[in-house]
Amino acid sequence: MLSVGETAPEFSLQNHTGETVSLSDSEGYTVVYFYPRADTPGCTTEATGFRDLFETFQNRGITVYGISDDPLEDLAAFAEKHDLPFDLLSDPDGSVGRAYESYGEKNMFGRTFDGVFRNTYIIDSAGTVVRTFEGVSPEEHAEEILAALEELEA
């Protein structure tokens, strides 16, 4: 996990519509959340939480990016199915996830494989990590992020 005070690694990834999106495109605070797999129960809960509060994020000038190693087609279907209004970014080789210490070896059902860790970062307008959330629970995570942003803005 990156630490508070570190410079957030720059990235340029394709979003679910095929456009290239970069961290430096954001102004103000940016929420970068990593999730393991599009359209699975936990990831859907997390994404729809951000969707349901998206207007609040947007009204405060906060950018939200969801990053996974899913292919663009899966992200497009996920965004359409759940009406997700923020950018879902494809990191197919896990390079951005690795830079954010959010991708690596996982064990599930006796299998070892590389995958995405459910971590979230809040990054300020200068590109500095100001809050970290490791191994988050998808339920009410968007509310948790808004509360942290309120503290930061206070």
pLDDT of residue 154: 84
Residue spans per domain, the chain:
12-153
Return the CATH number of the domain spanning residue range 12-153: 3.40.30.10
Known active-site residue 43: yes
Q: Is there a contact between 34 and 97 (Cβ–Cβ < 8 Å)?
A: yes
pLDDT of residue 82: 98
pLDDT of residue 113: 86
Confidence of residue 76 (pLDDT cuts 50, 70, 90): very high
Element spanning 76, H or E: helix 72-81
Interval 13-46: pLDDT, tens: 999 999 999 999 999 999 999 999 999 999 999 9
Q: What is the mean pLDDT of the chain?
A: 96
Structure tokens at 61: 């000038």
pLDDT of residue 107: 85
Output the pTM of the full model. Answer: 0.95
Strand segments, DSSP code E, in 11-119 are 12-15, 20-22, 30-34, 63-68, 87-90, 103-108, 111-116
Out of 2, 21, 43, 145, the active site residue is 43
- Residue 75, classed as helix, strand or coil, is helix
72 pLDDT higher than 90 = yes
Confidence of residue 108 (pLDDT cuts 50, 70, 90): confident
Q: Is there a contact between 33 and 67 (Cβ–Cβ < 8 Å)?
A: yes
